[in-house]
Structure 1
Amino acid sequence: MTRTKILITGASAGLGAAMARDFASKGRDVALCARRLPALEALRAELVAAHPGITVAVRALDVDDHPAVPRVFDELRNELGGLDRVIVNAGLGKGAVLGSGRADANIATATTNFVSALAQAEAALEIFRAQNSGHLVLVSSMSAVRGLPGKKAAYSASKAGLAALGEALAIELAKSPIAVTTLLPGFIATDMAAKAGDARMVAPLDKGVAAMVGAIEKEQRRACVPRWPWRLIDVVLPLLPGAVVARIG
């Protein structure tokens, strides 16, 4: 099935903006939301200039403003004339060692990456259940595969929660017309990845996003992207001794 009307959150930069460019190049209509409206408007101008036949709708949205999420999703659906795929991409990567006096950073990351993602899934699924079709995509992380220590603890826990939510929804909706995909990206060349990982393991943005879009288009239930080396890491990481994992924090 070709999904032609796609909503992406966190679309003003990074993976969200890159996915918007990829889908627009395929002739899809896109609805884009993020906190920074001027960045979205610039992206809309770029996409419409490059692909005159598509519709690009934009709205400012702070996903931590949970009551605003369904309202903005409804507005974007109305402007596009429907929605058949929602990509829950907005997220935070900041964090600190627990108990070090930076609870604010950890709570913000946990809120945006899980609670606010839940709010987005609620809004998307309300639309999909009403129309009896749709595709929900949750952008988790390879950090969800194993609890990571130190400053990565809250981040990995939040992404693990999101991955568990995706698994639960995929099971629940397996026999329905609603598809659910959970993506677990490894290090892809964005500002967040540049601070998080070994440069030798960071995939170029175009390669990483192509892998993400490929898995989304196939509507895979769970996908580690890019496949290499992350599918191998998906198998190996849960088996590593704690002493080895401790050095990752």
Structure 2
Amino acid sequence: MNRTVLITGASAGIGAALARTYAAEGWNVILTARRQGPLQALADELTAAKGVTATVISEDLSDPVAPERLVATIAARGLTVDGLVNNAGFSRVTGFLDTDLSAHRAMIQVMLTAPVELSRLLLPGMIQRGFGRVLNVASLAGQMPATGGDTLYGPIKSFLIKASQGLYLETLGTGVHVTVLNPGYTLTEFHDVNGSREQVSSAYPTWMWMDAVRVARIGHDACEANRPSVTPGVMNNVMAGLARFLPDGLALRMVANHAKRLDRI
């Protein structure tokens, strides 16, 4: 197999774990994120350990022209994208009105607009070749009621879940698999970056946290099996199931109590 996968947000966390997972399966990887140093270190690791070709393209997906520029750069290097992992993302635990409009725009651009544009740019080639993989990394938060203090994160992830389901249906029978991965709390630097590590560590017992390597493997395998969606972890599936059946008022009260525990509202 000589397949190549593009992974956004590949410099750390689930993105880096997915890069290692795909490389272990023999995929060449195109790694993109803002930080050149960690990307290059990961590329060197994968090339040495797995014998795959690892290409680094530093890009900031908060720039509205970044998706088209990224795809153009890939084409200029003579590379073909057989798989796309839309993983780049972040959260902000400041209140909606306490966050600058530019910061809201950046979150929407990175986590909603960029996955849509990359999918639209790359899916036609996959369909034409009769082979493709698209793995969208959403979140358990996208399956739960909205919360205050991180107001846009859950709704954006809900959009990604629904968009993935639509693409799954549109690509049936084409050789392209589209899967959405919905991780719960995962051991990465994610909560260090948004400044909530202390709060979430004290609020959630260790057994609720999953390892990024395991989450990545579950996502990869689900996409290979052409499953439309996958939520890693028994407890995460229980929580997602309860959220579907609880009355909205009760669910929102429960989420509000949770947000207060984390000092977000």
2:21 counterpart of 1:22 = yes
State the AA in 1 paired with 2:12.
A
Instruction: Flag the structure with more relative contact order, 1 or 2, with Cα contacts below 8 A and sequence separation at least 6.
Output: 2
More deviation, 104-113/153-162: 104-113
2:109 counterpart of 1:111 = yes
Match in the other structure for 1:234: 240
What is the 5 A alignment of 1:177-196?
177-193=175-191, 195=196
CA distance in 2: counterparts of 1:11 and 1:164, whole angstroms: 23
Question: Does the CA-based 8 Å contact 1:6-1:84 persist in structure 2?
Answer: yes
CA distance in 2: counterparts of 1:138 and 1:23, whole angstroms: 14
Give the alignment partner of residue 94 of structure 1, picking from 77, 86, 92.
Answer: 92
Shift of the 184–3 alpha-carbon distance from structure 1 to 2, 3 Å rule, reads farther
Question: Does the CA-based 8 Å contact 2:32-2:39 persist in structure 1?
Answer: yes
What is the 5 A alignment of 1:56-75?
56-75=54-73
* Cα deviation 1:215-249 (Å, max 9, x = unaligned): 23323111112x32112122112334121122233
Question: Alpha carbon RMSD of aligned pairs, Å?
Answer: 2.3
Match in the other structure for 1:213: 220
Match in the other structure for 2:262: none
* Cα deviation 1:186-232 (Å, max 9, x = unaligned): 1110111463742431112322222222223323111112x321121
Match in the other structure for 2:44: 45
CA distance in 2: counterparts of 1:103 and 1:140, whole angstroms: 23
Segments of 5+ residues of structure 1 without an aligned counterpart are none
CA distance in 2: counterparts of 1:26 and 1:113, whole angstroms: 27
State the AA in 1 paired with 2:40.
E
Shift of the 159–153 alpha-carbon distance from structure 1 to 2, 3 Å rule, reads same
Match in the other structure for 2:256: 246
Question: Does the CA-based 8 Å contact 2:18-2:213 persist in structure 1?
Answer: no
Match in the other structure for 1:121: 119
Match in the other structure for 1:168: 166
Shift of the 77–23 alpha-carbon distance from structure 1 to 2, 3 Å rule, reads farther
Question: Does the CA-based 8 Å contact 2:36-2:58 persist in structure 1?
Answer: yes
Q: CA deviation at 1:118?
A: 1.4
CA distance in 1: counterparts of 2:2 and 2:159, whole angstroms: 27
Question: Does the CA-based 8 Å contact 2:184-2:236 persist in structure 1?
Answer: yes
Shift of the 6–47 alpha-carbon distance from structure 1 to 2, 3 Å rule, reads same
* Cα deviation 1:120-171 (Å, max 9, x = unaligned): 2222223324434311111111111123221122100111111111111112
What is the number of residues matched between the two proteins? 246
Q: CA deviation at 1:105?
A: 3.6
State the AA in 2 paired with 1:211.
I
CA distance in 2: counterparts of 1:199 and 1:217, whole angstroms: 32
TM-score by length of 2: 0.83
TM-score by length of 1: 0.88
Q: CA deviation at 1:14?
A: 1.1
